[in-house]
């Protein structure tokens, strides 16, 4: 093994150690990429599963007690425990505990401030509202649980000896379950039987990961050969597997047979709960995980919850309010003690002790302290938290209704999955973005390739890409496309229809699978409509125009198929051999599922032909000579179309298809058996056959053979009348398969053990599929192991990134391979500079002995449980060595619409953008230039190092160079703009770093230096980065720099990064819904980020910040009225306002207007915010909610309360008015002050605002009049009876309210006028621009230093 393998192994172990570190919270929680020890829920180390039948009955009864049933319960409450449990949960909140303490305290007679029920009212209202909400949510979960648990499925009954219908909740581990097409899987079960002849079962996993493309699952090895369903009574196997966990992408275990032989189990054998059976008549499995131990249930963590930055600031200021409350209560306690100490005798209002003495002033002060706590409790805004939740809900509804964030082509709007961080969208400072599918379309178009050191440009594809417009047409062929591109959509061959067998079942409704003939031709629209939902299958991806030179070379090879047989003694030239293997690799080395276009998901099947007698090699040669066609000089459209149709099912092709013995021994036996008859046969050449009788005989033989060949199944012939459809898990795979099809190397069928490929002039070849080694982020490649149908040798086809392939090549002593490697590397670098995605294609031919040795180790790795991943990686490294490089491909991924404008807007908004991608450096840099992340005048520093010490030296060197450059810029006279700096003084510097160096830079000792370097760069591009590195980059930047971060991506490899950031955005693209399901917000295009942040983010932050400040101001101002009154009542804790009006003032009368204000207020229009991205910086600097602004609001509240109290005080001084007559104008004036304050601070006023405002005032007076007119003796000894009615008849009441309101608001009003006139903020200037007519609107101005608008009239 080469040195590259130990390096990769060490890197893998290092990443594994990082990913299992309990303290590293940046690990991915999405299963399949890393094992997260924190999120991985392991119940037992291993699990033994045995059936509940036969000889296992006694043992089953013992072990089943340790396993959960299949009944699920996601509810938290029952009818009996709802009230105690809900109260217990609600009193976990500090605010609720605080008000509960006050309610209890008010029941103590010596400190009582209000009537007992009055103090409990605010707490009871909040608790009841939240309890109703929680109860409704839990009842909805209860109904859903009941519906799921009472579903029916077929379970084997050992008493009845047959399958019977049972509820899901009665299914247990070890039960045998039979499922049918379109049925949902009730529990995690190992697949034992499928009606499919190849032991395949298709499942749809959209309920788990959101992906709609079908996945294949395979019957356990050893059960595939069964002709009939396995009998549970005869099942004698034992299953050993890993314990329950939440990793959807892995399943480790083995099945031990009665003879102690072990068969490996993997995720390919596991049917997950919640998935749906598709396109398979029936399956049978044994349950291994049930109920809450299934992987689906263990991934059900409930809704995501994050604390926003504004919420953290709010909690800090609530503590300041608590401190202020304590100070005011202490003042009241000391004041009351001093006041009582001034009486020489017991005052007439004093309460004597039982022994006839008065209370000591210290004790009285202590009791008054608690009385003041009760009286001034409104200072702590309990209603603020409920109001914030309502405001956020309203903001989300407005956000989701924005038509600009709706994508008509995909019929998708923005999704808000996290309901409590909308304001964080207005404070983002760093954006971490994936490239493929996020900045680009993720529609891969085959654009360039090179084979054996020769490049083929495919210029027509590049031209077609420039003219391409995305429309809804799926199968319309442009007349400018090449021959094969057109022929690939015209490959239908009429065949007599035959009834489908049990193995070829169409599970869809009949009307969806029948083509309606109209005037003798197929309805293309219906076919298109059926296939329109398939990912990676748009017309631009499918319709590849082949390179004329390469097409001609491949045509020459295919027109002489005898050259493909090594037994003929003739060999292809090395270049031609590389070309054939190159296209075989493109077609075979993938996991693409082939189905019919008009029958979605119905897999194309090629019947087995083992029972057909195999002719000798001499007969095969004769058939080739009789049916081969002349060499083509040029790829004519009509000739190619006819040859593809006429020769795809030739007799010679069928014969060639049969040369597929399962092993070398079988090949030898067949050669011996046919040797004698081959000698006696007469050789017939193509020139001896005329168009007469002999030709008819051959056609008859051809028909007979065709009948026997296709007799095992009819789905292939049926699909010939339709169109092939490829369902790929990634766009790269789809692009390569479509490209091979353009060269008439067509993938016809894929099963668990064979792949069928159709070649022009030859027909169909069946490759025995031995193994598939899937792609992973460690190896960065995938491989398939097949037995070649022509050479009968074991061949390994591998494709992957050049960084994971070039070190595995066998170039020792092979000058040709060295030359091909050098040329290929040059081509790869050129492709990357053009922004193309590159892949290397390689092969390896193994001897049977080498394959047997590797297979032995691989089987041991597959059956291992504890260290299966490590052993499988080691097995892959053993196989993928000494490869022969065939060539490479270049695939273009078009940039999404609006990405450059969005990047420029984000840069103007002072948001730094980092691109984290797995692509090559050259590719990433090219895309960065295309999307305006990089500009031509930017200086690009590349950070590539081989070890940590070199990385540290390079970082320090770059920092010194940038510092020197910045110093020179400052010392240089500002005659003109320097090419290396922008107009605002920012250096035009970008950093590009590769994945290997990023590992060193993220080391704890280098993090500070790396961040210091990155802070000085306008953009950072991390190439060849793994998902773990993406997550760690976000974590380090967020924690070290203390900045607000946003991560955006579209694939499963972006999940950890999305979850690590303060705000995670998933793009609902073509790579499934994993990113969306793990995100806080989901959008369909990257361009939507612009309005999401600059407009909605700004609005949400400004609205919520102003509303919180207003709540603090309102509560402090109102509470201070009670505090000032204590100076005139001996700090006794008595209020001058009726208790009910006092409680309802904040709870009801003044609570709705600020909520409407927080939902609908707009300081600047959306158009202006988009034109002036610089306005976004106010949110980054938290200008709307600074500590200084908070304390200014508190001081203003103190001033307004002083004015509101003392103006009525001096008016009524030395009069005989009672306490409520004095308090009513104070309370009324404060209400008007609070509402007019809101009008001054508000930016937008609509009929909704005015209606709520007027309605609140009317409600206040209506309650006061009704309460005062009916409450004769509600609050003894004082009485509010007829107080409001009396006050409304007195002019003095109106004068007091008007004077107090005017004087209280005058400073606030003059301050706003002075601020807008003398030193207006950028937002104030932008508001003025909104008032200008379009023709008077000034041009967008740079930075946040907005020019003052000077207009003569508005």
* Structure confidence at residue 535 (pLDDT): 53
Classify residue 380 by its DSSP letter: S
Q: Which long-range contacts (CB under 8 A, 24 or more apart) does 1338-1341 make?
A: 1340/1171, 1340/1172, 1341/1172
> DSSP readout, 978-1037?
-TTB-TTS-B-EEEEE-HHHHHHHTSTTTHHHHHHHHHT-SEEEE-S--HHHHHHHHHHH
Q: Model confidence over 1054-1074: pLDDT tens digits?
A: 888 998 999 999 888 666 577
pTM over 0.85? The answer is no
Q: What is the pLDDT of residues 497-554, one digit of tens each?
A: 333 333 333 343 333 333 333 333 333 333 333 333 455 566 777 788 899 999 999 8
pLDDT tens readout for residues 207-241: 776 666 678 888 988 776 665 677 888 888 889 99
Q: What contacts 918, CB < 8 A, 6 or more positions away? A: 436, 777, 780, 801, 995, 1023, 1024, 1025, 1026, 1053
- Contact criterion met (CB below 8 Å) for 437 and 1050: yes
Identify the three-state secondary structure at position 268.
Answer: helix
Which single residue is written with the structure tokens 């082939």?
594
Residue 200 Cα distances to 64, 191, 193, 285, angstroms: 30, 9, 9, 13
> How many other C-beta atoms can be found within 10 angstroms of the C-beta atom of residue 1319?
8
Peptide bond into 1278 cis (omega under 30): no
Query: Tell me, what's the pLDDT at 493?
Result: 30
Q: From 1351, 1312, 1311, select the one nearest 1335 (Cα to Cα).
A: 1351
State which residues of the chain have pLDDT below 70. Answer: 1-44, 54, 209-213, 224-228, 300-305, 346-358, 462, 464-538, 561-572, 597-722, 969-986, 1069-1072, 1275-1278, 1333-1354
Return the pLDDT at 170.
92
Strand partners, 915: 433, 1021
Q: Pairing between strand 939-943 and 912-916?
A: unpaired
Output the 3-class SS for 1169-1214: HHHCHHHHHHHHCCHHHCHHHHHHHHHHHHHHHHHHHHHHHHHCCC
Q: How many angstroms separate the CA atoms of 189 and 195, rounded?
A: 17
pLDDT value of position 1041: 93
- Whether 646 is catalytic is no
pLDDT value of residue 1072: 59
- Contacts by 1249-1258, CB closer than 8 A, 24 or more apart: 1249/1153, 1249/1156, 1249/1157, 1249/1160, 1252/1152, 1252/1153, 1252/1156, 1253/1153, 1255/1152, 1256/1149, 1256/1150, 1256/1152, 1256/1153, 1257/1231, 1257/1232
For the record, the structure tokens of 404 come out as 């600009």
Between CA 283 and CA 277 the distance in angstroms is 9
Q: What are phi and psi of 519, to 5 degrees?
A: 60, 35
CA angle 405, 411, 417 (to 5 degrees): 60
Asked if residue 1301 lies in contact with residue 1236, where contact means CB atoms within 8 angstroms, the answer is yes
The percent helix, strand, coil of the chain (3-state, each to 5) is 50, 15, 35
In the block, residue with structure tokens 């009871």: 124
Which entry of 138, 188, 198, 434 is annotated as an active-site residue? Answer: 434
Instruction: Quote the pLDDT of residue 607.
Output: 54
* Runs of H (alpha helix) within 1212-1277: 1219-1241, 1247-1270
Identify any residues that bridge with 201 across adjacent strands, giving them in sequence order: 217
Q: Cα-atom radius of gyration of the chain, to the nearest Å?
A: 39
Find, among 1184, 1320, 1159, the residue nearest to 1249 by Cα: 1159
> DSSP of 872-890, one letter per residue?
HHHHHHHHS-SBEEEEEEE
In three-state secondary structure terms, 797 is strand
C-alpha to C-alpha distance for 1176 and 1184, rounded to whole angstroms: 12
Q: According to the model, what pLDDT value does residue 1307 have?
A: 93
Q: What is the pLDDT of residue 566?
A: 54
Greatest CA separation found in the chain? Answer: 142
Residue with tokens 């207006």: 1320
- CB neighbours of 133 closer than 8 A, spacing ≥ 6? none
């Amino acid at each position: 093994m080469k040195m590259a393998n130990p390096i990769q192994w060490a890197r893998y172990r290092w990443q594994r150690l990082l990913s299992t570190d309990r303290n590293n919270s940046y690990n991915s929680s999405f299963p399949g990429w890393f094992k997260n020890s924190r999120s991985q829920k392991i119940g037992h180390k291993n699990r033994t599963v045995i059936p509940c039948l036969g000889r296992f009955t006694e043992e089953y009864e013992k072990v089943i007690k340790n396993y959960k049933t299949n009944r699920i319960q996601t509810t938290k409450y029952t009818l009996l425990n709802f009230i105690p449990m809900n109260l217990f949960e609600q009193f976990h909140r500090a605010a609720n505990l605080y008000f509960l303490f006050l309610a209890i305290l008010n029941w103590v007679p010596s400190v009582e401030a209000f009537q007992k029920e009055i103090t409990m009212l605010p707490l009871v209202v909040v608790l009841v509202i939240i309890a109703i909400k929680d109860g409704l949510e839990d009842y909805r979960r209860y109904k859903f649980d009941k519906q799921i648990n009472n579903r029916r499925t077929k379970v084997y009954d050992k008493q009845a000896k047959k399958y019977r219908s049972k509820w899901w909740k009665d299914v247990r581990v070890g039960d045998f379950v039979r499922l049918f097409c379109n049925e949902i899987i009730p529990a995690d079960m190992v697949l034992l039987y499928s009606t499919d002849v190849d032991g395949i079962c298709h499942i749809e996993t959209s309920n788990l990961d959101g992906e709609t493309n079908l996945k294949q699952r395979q019957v356990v090895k050893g059960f595939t050969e069964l002709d009939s369903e396995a009998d549970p009574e005869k099942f004698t196997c034992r299953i050993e597997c890993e314990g329950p966990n939440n990793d959807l992408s892995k399943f480790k275990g083995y099945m031990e047979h009665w003879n102690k032989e072990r068969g490996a189990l993997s995720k390919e054998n596991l049917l997950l709960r919640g998935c749906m059976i598709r396109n398979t008549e029936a399956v049978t499995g044994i349950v291994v995980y049930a109920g809450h131990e299934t992987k689906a249930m263990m991934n059900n963590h409930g809704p995501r919850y994050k604390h926003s930055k504004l919420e953290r600031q709010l909690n800090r200021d609530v503590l300041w309010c608590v401190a202020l409350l304590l100070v005011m209560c202490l003042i009241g306690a000391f004041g009351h003690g001093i006041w009582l100490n001034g009486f020489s005798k017991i005052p007439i209002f004093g309460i004597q002790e039982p022994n006839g003495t008065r209370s000591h002033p210290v004790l009285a002060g202590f009791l008054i302290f608690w009385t003041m706590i009760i009286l001034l409790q409104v200072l702590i805004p309990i209603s603020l938290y409920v109001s914030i939740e309502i405001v956020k809900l309203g903001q989300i509804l407005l956000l989701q209704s924005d038509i600009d964030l709706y994508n008509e082509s995909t019929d998708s709007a923005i999704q808000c999955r996290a309901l409590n961080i909308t304001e964080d969208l207005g404070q983002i400072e760093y954006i971490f973005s994936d490239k493929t599918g996020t900045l680009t379309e993720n529609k891969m178009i085959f654009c360039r390739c090179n084979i054996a050191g020769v490049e083929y440009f495919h210029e027509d594809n590049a031209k077609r890409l420039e003219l391409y417009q995305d429309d809804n047409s799926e199968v319309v062929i442009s007349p400018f496309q090449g021959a094969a591109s057109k022929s690939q959509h015209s490959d239908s061959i009429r065949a007599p229809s035959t009834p489908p067998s049990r193995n070829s079942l169409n599970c869809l409704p009949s009307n969806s699978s029948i083509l309606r003939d109209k005037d003798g031709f197929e309805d293309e629209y219906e076919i298109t409509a059926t296939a329109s939902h398939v990912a990676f299958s748009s017309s631009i991806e499918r319709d590849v125009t082949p390179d004329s030179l390469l097409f001609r070379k491949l045509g020459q090879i295919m027109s002489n198929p005898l050259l493909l047989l090594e037994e003929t003694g003739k060999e292809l030239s090395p270049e031609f051999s590389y070309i054939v293997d190159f296209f075989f690799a493109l077609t075979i080395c993938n996991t693409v599922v082939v189905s019919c276009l008009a029958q979605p998901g119905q897999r194309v099947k090629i019947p087995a032909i083992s029972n057909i007698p195999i002719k000798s090699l001499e007969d095969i040669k004769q058939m080739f000579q009789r049916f081969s066609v002349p060499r083509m000089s040029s790829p004519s459209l009509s000739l190619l179309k006819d040859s593809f149709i006429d020769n795809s099912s030739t007799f010679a092709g069928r014969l060639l298809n049969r040369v597929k013995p399962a092993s070398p021994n079988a090949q030898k036996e067949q050669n011996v058996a046919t040797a004698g008859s081959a000698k006696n046969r007469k050789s017939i050449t193509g020139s001896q056959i005329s168009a007469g009788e002999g030709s008819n005989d051959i056609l008859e033989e051809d028909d007979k053979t065709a009948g026997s060949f296709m007799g095992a199944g009819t789905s292939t012939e049926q699909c010939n009348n339709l169109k092939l459809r490829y369902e790929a898990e990634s766009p790269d795979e789809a692009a390569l398969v479509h490209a091979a099809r353009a060269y008439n190397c067509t993938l016809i069928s894929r099963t668990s053990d064979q792949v069928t490929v159709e070649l022009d002039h030859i027909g169909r070849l069946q490759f025995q599929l031995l193994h598939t080694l899937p792609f992973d982020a460690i190896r960065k490649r995938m491989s398939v192991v097949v037995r070649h149908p022509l050479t009968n040798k074991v061949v390994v086809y591998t494709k992957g990134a050049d960084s994971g392939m070039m070190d595995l090549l066998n170039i020792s002593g092979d000058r040709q391979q060295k030359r091909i490697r050098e040329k290929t590397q040059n081509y790869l670098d050129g492709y990357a500079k053009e922004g193309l995605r590159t892949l290397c294609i390689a092969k390896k031919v193994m001897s049977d002995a080498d394959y047997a040795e590797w297979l032995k180790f691989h089987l041991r790795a597959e059956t291992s449980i504890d260290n299966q991943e490590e052993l499988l990686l080691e097995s892959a490294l053993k196989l993928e060595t000494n490869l022969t490089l065939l060539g490479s491909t270049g695939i273009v991924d078009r940039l999404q619409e609006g990405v450059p404008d969005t990047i420029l807007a984000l840069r103007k908004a002072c948001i730094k953008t980092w691109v984290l991608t797995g692509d090559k450096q050259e590719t990433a840099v090219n895309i960065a230039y295309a999307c305006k992340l990089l500009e031509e005048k930017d200086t690009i520093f590349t950070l590539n190092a081989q070890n940590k010490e070199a990385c540290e030296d390079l970082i320090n060197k770059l920092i010194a160079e940038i510092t020197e450059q910045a110093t020179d810029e400052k010392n240089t006279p500002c005659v003109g703009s320097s090419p290396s700096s922008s107009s605002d003084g920012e250096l035009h510097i970008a950093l590009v770093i590769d994945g290997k160096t990023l590992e060193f830079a993220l080391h704890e000792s280098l993090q500070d230096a790396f961040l210091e370097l990155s802070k000085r760069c306008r953009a950072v591009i991390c190439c060849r980065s793994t998902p773990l590195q993406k997550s760690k980059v976000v974590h380090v930047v967020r924690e070290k720099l203390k900045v607000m971060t946003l991560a955006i991506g579209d694939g499963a490899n972006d999940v950890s990064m999305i979850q690590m950031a303060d705000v995670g955005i998933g793009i609902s693209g073509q790579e499934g819904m994993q990113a969306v399901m793990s995100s806080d917000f989901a959008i369909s295009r990257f361009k939507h980020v612009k309005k999401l942040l600059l407009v909605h983010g700004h609005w949400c932050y400004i609205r919520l910040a102003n509303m919180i400040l207003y709540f603090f101001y309102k509560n402090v101002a109102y509470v201070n009225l009670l505090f000032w009154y204590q100076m005139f009542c001996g700090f006794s804790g008595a209020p001058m306002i009726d208790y009910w009006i006092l409680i309802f003032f904040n709870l009801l009368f003044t609570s709705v207007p600020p909520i409407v204000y927080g939902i609908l207020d707009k300081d600047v229009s959306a158009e202006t915010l988009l034109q002036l991205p610089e306005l976004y910086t106010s949110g980054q600097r938290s200008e709307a909610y600074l500590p200084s602004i908070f304390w200014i609001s508190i001081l203003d509240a103190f001033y307004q309360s002083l004015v509101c109290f003392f103006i009525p005080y001096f008016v009524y001084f030395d009069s005989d008015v009672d306490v409520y007559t004095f308090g009513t104008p104070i309370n009324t004036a404060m209400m008007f002050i609070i509402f007019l304050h809101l009008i001054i601070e508000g930016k937008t006023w609509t009929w909704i605002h005015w209606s709520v405002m007027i309605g609140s005032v009317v409600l206040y007076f209506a309650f006061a009049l009704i309460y005062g007119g009916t409450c004769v003796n509600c609050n003894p000894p004082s009485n509010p009876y007829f107080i409001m009615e009396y006050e409304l008849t007195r002019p003095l009441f109106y004068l007091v309210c008007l004077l107090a309101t005017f004087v209280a608001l005058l400073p606030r009003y003059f301050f706003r006028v002075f601020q807008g006139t003398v030193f207006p903020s950028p937002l104030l200037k932008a508001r003025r621009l909104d008032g200008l007519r379009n023709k008077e609107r000034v041009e967008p101005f740079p930075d946040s230093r907005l020019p003052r608008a000077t207009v003569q009239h508005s």
